[in-house]
A and B are shown apart, each in its own frame.
Chain A
C-alpha cells in the first residue's frame, strides 16, 4: 500500500518495544506529514548515539565517554558499590536521591539456560574492583527474581572471599500496599527481613 521507503520506515519503527503495525504507521505518517524537521533530528540523534555510545570502562553502563559521569564524579563515595542489572536501574536508584556511592552494571543476570554465566556478566571486572583497597561495601540491587537471587548469591560469595561487607536491598510489602493482596512468597520475604522499630 505504501511506497517502499515508507514501508521500510514503518517496519523499522516496529523494533521499538510496544510498537505494533498500527502504532508504527501512525508514527511514520506523523514524522513525514507533520514534523520532517523533528524526523531529521531523530535520525541524526539515532545515528550519533549508535556510533558513539558504548560501555563505561569502570561500571559498564551505557555512555559515549570512556568513563561515565557517575564514575568520574569526585563527590561520589568510592567505598560503596551498588551492583544492578541494567542501566535503567541506575537511573531508578539515582531518582531515589538517597544513594551517593558508585555503581556496577551487570547488563543482565545469571541465567544458565540462556547461556548467561558469570563470564558473560563481566564478573571478572567486578572481581578486579573488589581488589581495590578503597572499596568497603557492596550493595546487591538485582531484581527479586530467582535469577536475580542467584546472581546476588554469587556476588555475595565473591565479596565474602575478598573480605568485603555485602548487603542485599530489602524486598517485601510495597509502600501503600495492602497485605491481603500480597502473595505468600512476598509476605514470607517481608517477615524474614523484618526490622526493629
Chain B
C-alpha cells in the first residue's frame, strides 16, 4: 500500500543505525504510524517534533517505509518552556495509549488544536483534559460521563466513586458535611456537578479543574499498567 502526502506530526524518533531511524507519526487519516526512515541529509529538513509535516510511505506491515517527508506550509507557534513540556506529555500519552493504526482525524485535530493554543493559553489544564478525554475514548477506554454504573443519570449534588473499568458508582446522596466529619471527600470520590462539567468539557471552575485532574490521573494510571508517565517529572509543580 502506498500513501502519498499525508499530513502528520512526528511524535518520536530513534536511531537504529547511522543512516536509519524509526519514526512514529500521528497522521491525519491513518492514526498512529511507525515507519523506517533514512536519516535526513543536510539538504533535507530534519525530523522535528511539534511541526506539521506531510509524509509518504509504503508497506503493508506494521512498520512502514517512509519515502518522503517535508515541512507543511503551515506556520505553528514554537513551543517553549511549560507548553513544550505539555507537548512532550501529549506525545507520550499518544505513544503509550494507542496501538499502531489507532486514532482518528478528530484526535489528530485535537492534537493540532492543543499545539496551536498551548503557547497562548492562560492555563494549559483545560486543553490537556479535553485531549485526555478524547484520547481515552479513542483508545477504547471510554466511560459514561452522564450516567452512573446502574444507568441512572448523574445528579449534581450526589457523590460518586470512580471505578476505572465500569464508571461512576453512587456512594452518597447527602451533602458532604452530613456524612464526612472533616468535610473532605474520601479518595477517588467526586461530586456530581464536577463529573457533569467534565462531561461537557467545562473547566472554568477551580474545583472542577482539580476533580478533572484527579479523575484523569486515576483513569490514565489504570490504563498505563503501573508504569508512570515520564513526562510528568518535567513539571516542577503538580500541573498534570
Instruction: State the A residues within 8 Å of B (CB).
Output: 17-18, 110, 112-119, 145-147, 149-150, 153-154, 157, 183-185, 188
Contact = CB atoms under 8 A, between A and B. Distances in A.
A18 B15 CA distance: 12
B150 interface: no
Q: Is the interface of A mostly helix, strand, loop or mixed?
A: helix
Q: Is the interface of B mostly helix, strand, loop or mixed?
A: mixed
A157 B237 CA distance: 12
B35 to A, nearest CB: 16
Nearest to B87: A146
A115 B85 CA distance: 14
A113 B80 contact: no
Contacts of B81: 153
B45 interface: yes
B85 A113 contact: no
A182 to B, nearest CB: 11
A114 B233 CA distance: 13
Contacts of A183: 45, 71
Interface in B53-109: 71, 75, 78-81, 84-85, 87-89, 91-92, 95
Contacts of B221: none
Nearest to A113: B12
Q: Which 7 A-B pairs have the closest CB atoms?
A: A112-B231, A112-B230, A117-B233, A146-B49, A113-B12, A18-B18, A117-B230
13 contacts: A17-B18, A110-B234, A112-B92, A112-B229, A113-B12, A113-B230, A114-B12, A118-B234, A145-B48, A146-B48, A147-B49, A149-B80, A153-B84
